[in-house]
Amino acid sequence: MSQAAFADETDRKSPAGEHAAPVGNEQHHGHGGSDAPPRQASWLRIFVLVGLALAVFAGLGAVGFRARSRQQVDRTEAATAARSDRPKVLTARAEPAPAHIEQVLPGSAVPLFETAVYARTSGYLKRWLVDIGDIVKEGQLLAEVETPEVDAQLLQARATLAESRATLVRNKASEYLARLNLDRIKLLNGKAAVSQQEFDASDGAQKVAAASIEVAEATIHASEANVKRLEDLQQFQKVTAPFAGVITVRNYDPGALIVADNSNARELFHLAQMTTLRVFADVPQTYATSVRAGQNAPVFRREAPGREFPGTVTRTTNALDPLTRTLRVEVTVPNADRSLLPGMFLQVRFQLDAPAHIVRVPGAAVTTRSEGNKVAIVDPQGVVHYKAVQVGRDFGTMVEVVNGLVGGETLVIRPGDDIPDGTVVEAVSASSK
C-alpha cells in the first residue's frame, strides 16, 4: 500500500472523515500537484502514537519498580525488626594455649657460698684487717685475737708434759731395779736361801714398777693432746677467710671481748661469694613437671629490663611444697662483674611446655553459679548454651580452662541472669569495639 493510500484510509477512519467531501476534493486536486502536507501529518501521528506507547510502558515500569522497592524495603524492615528483638551481647573466642609458653616468676638471689666467721678462741680483738665491702682471697688474714689465758694454759700444759716425761724415766728406772731384784730372788729361791714371802714381794714390786711405766706413758699422751689443743687454739688467734668472697658484715672493733663457743655471740665477719649467684624461684604445680635441670632460665631486674643475665637450672627439690603447691627451683647465674647483688628480688624467665588441652578465655566470660563455674557459648544460630568448665590459673583478664572447652568457641562476656540458656542473641565481637 502506498503512502497516499494509507493516508486516505486513515482519513476515512478518523472522525473527521465523515465530513471529508471537501477534503476529498482537495486530495483529488492534489494528485496532479505536490503531496507534502498529507505526508507530514501522517508521520506526526505515528510519532505521537509511539510516544504515547513509550510513555505507557515507562509508567508501567515505574509502577513495577516502585512496588518491588517497596517490597524490598518491607523485607529489610521486617528483618531489622526481627534482629532488633534479639539482645546484643559482647563475645570473644576461646583460644587454645600455645604449646610453649614463657613464664616469668619472681626469684630471690643468694650467694653461691656464704658463711659467718666466728672466733674459735676467747680473748680480745687485737685488730681487724678488712672491713665491709672488701674483697678477700681464700686464706687471707682477716683479724687477730689476743688470748693471754690460752697462752698461759699452753705454758702450763707444756710443763705438765715435761713432768710426765720425767716421771716416765723415773718409773722405767724403778722397774729396772725391781726386775734385777726379782732375778736375784729367783736364783736364791732355787737354793732355798730365801723365803717364799720375799720372793712374792719382789715379784709384786716388779709388776708395780712395770704398771707405773704404762701410767706414765698414758699421762704423757694426755699431756701431749692438751698441748696440741692449746696450740690449735693459739693458732685461732689469726682469723682467716675460708674462701674467696666479699665481706658483708663486721661486728667488732679492736679491744672487744671475744667469747668462743657462745651461741649468743655475734659473728666477727660475714663472708659471701658473689661471682656466682643462686636464684631460687617457686614454679606453680601446673608447670612443675616442665622444669628440668640444665635448661636455660635467664634472669633480669625490673629496674633494668633491657638487660638479661644468663642462667641455668641447676637443681630442683623434686617435691612440691604442700602449703603452696609449688616446686622450688635453683638457678645458677654467673656474676663476674657483680652487677647482681645477693638479696636482690629478680625475675626468672622460664620457657615451659604448656599442659595439653589448656584453653584461655577472658576472665569476664566465666560465671560462678551454685553448681560451679560455667561459660555461655553462642552457637552459629545465635543460641546461648551454658557449659560447665574447670578453671585453672587466673591471670586477671584471662583465665585458663583446663576442662570443658576445646578452643574456638564463641563465648558471651559477662552473661547475666537475663540471658538464660536457649536465648537467641545477636553476637557483637569485643575485638571490634
% the chain with pLDDT above 90: 39
| pLDDT number for residue 255 | 92
Q: Looking at residues 15-23, what average pLDDT do you find?
A: 41
| CA dihedral (186, 188, 194, 195) positive or negative | positive
Q: How confident is the model over 239-279, as pLDDT tens digits?
A: 999 999 999 999 999 999 998 888 788 999 999 999 999 99
Query: How many whole angstroms separate alpha carbon 410 and alpha carbon 385?
Result: 11
- 50-80 pLDDT, tens digit each: 777 777 777 777 766 776 766 665 565 555 5
- The Cα 236–Cα 229 span in angstroms is 11
pLDDT bracket for residue 37 (50, 70, 90): low
Closest alpha carbon to 88 in 394, 378, 387, 312: 378
Question: Taking the domains of the chain in order of start, what are their residue ranges?
Answer: 1-32, 34-84, 89-97+357-432, 113-240
List the beta bridge partners of residue 283: 327
Stated pTM of the model? 0.55
- Phi then psi dihedrals of residue 267, to 5 deg: -75, 150
Percent of the chain with pLDDT over 70: 83
Which CATH number is correct for 89-97+357-432, 3.40.50.170, 1.10.357.10, 2.30.130.10, 2.40.420.20? 2.40.420.20
Residue 182 pLDDT: 81
Give per-residue burial for 154-180: e unless 16+ CB within 10 Å, then b. beebbebbeebeebbeebbebbeebee
Cell of 80: 531489622
Confidence of residue 129 (pLDDT cuts 50, 70, 90): very high
Report the candidate in 9, 89, 86, 87 with the shortest Cα–Cα distance to residue 45.
Answer: 9
Cell numbers 690460752 correspond to 150
pLDDT band of 324, cuts 50, 70, 90:
very high
pLDDT in tens, 187-241: 777 666 677 777 778 878 888 888 988 999 999 999 999 999 999 888 889 999 9
Q: Is 17 or 251 the better-scoring residue by pLDDT? A: 251
Phi, psi of 212 (to 5 degrees): -65, -30
Q: Which pLDDT does position 433 carry in this prediction?
A: 56
- What per-residue confidence (pLDDT) applies to 75? 62
Between the alpha carbon of residue 111 and those of residues 104, 309, 350, the distances in Å are: 21, 15, 21
- Cell numbers linked to 210: 712395770
